Amino acid sequence: MTIRVKGLFVSGCAVLGMALAAPAWAGSAAASAAPSAPACVAGKPTAASYTWDFKAEAARTLNDIRADARQISEDADTLRWLTLNPGADWGLQEEQLGQMKRPINDIVSDVCRLETIRRVVSPPEQHEIDLAIAEGTLLSIHAQDAYNWGNQHPEDLLLGPYRSDVANLYNEASALQRSVGSAQGAS
């Protein structure tokens, strides 16, 4: 099965918003650990829009995404270790997931901005933005799934679904970090 990046691009922020706005987060006592979904809406052009250096903005934004992905990858690696420890309860793992809230929200916001300026950057940058949208979407979905499973089954954290979501969270964060950095090195 292959994922079509163009399809993810078209619905990138909508999918991110749906993944991050699931009702299970809002109704829980730990809703503050849940990422929030921004609206991906382009503003009206201003006079500065016509002279703005979108290429430099895209590069800065992609660097920010890479740094956030690195942080999420480190936090998810710790969480993976916790999934192997029978003594690590849901409260501890929920706290670890909560540490990922800010960088996940930052990636969601950055992806929205990149989606808005994508059409005015070069094809290599567009490709890198497409990768960031796809990986960022998957990252947010796995974070949401891990949180939902843990919140609904706090006694079953050693079971496959939760461990799989945590492993996927780590893998997507690592992939995002690699994919964003690879095109920057080439451009």
Residue 52: predicted pLDDT: 75
- Buried b / exposed e along 75-111 (16+ C-beta atoms within 10 A): bbeebbebbeeeebebeebbebbbbbbebbbbbbbbb
Nearest to 176 by CA among 41, 64, 23: 64
pLDDT at 47: 58
- Residue 163 burial (10 A CB sphere; 0-12, 13-18, 19+): middle
Average pLDDT per run of 10 along the chain, which is 187 residues long? 37 42 38 46 60 85 95 96 91 94 93 90 91 91 93 87 93 91 50
The span from the CA of 112 to the CA of 4, in Å, is: 18
- Is 174 in a helix, a strand, or coil? helix
pLDDT of residue 30: 43
Cα-flanking dihedrals φ and ψ of residue 59, to 5°? -60, -45
Residues in the chain: 187
Give residue 15's pLDDT. Answer: 41
**Residue 138 corresponds to which tokens in the numbers above?**
């998957």
Structure tokens given for 51: 């002279």
The pTM for the full model equals 0.73
CATH number of 54-186: 1.20.120
Name the residue type at position 50: Y
Neighbouring CB atoms inside 10 A of 187's CB total: 12
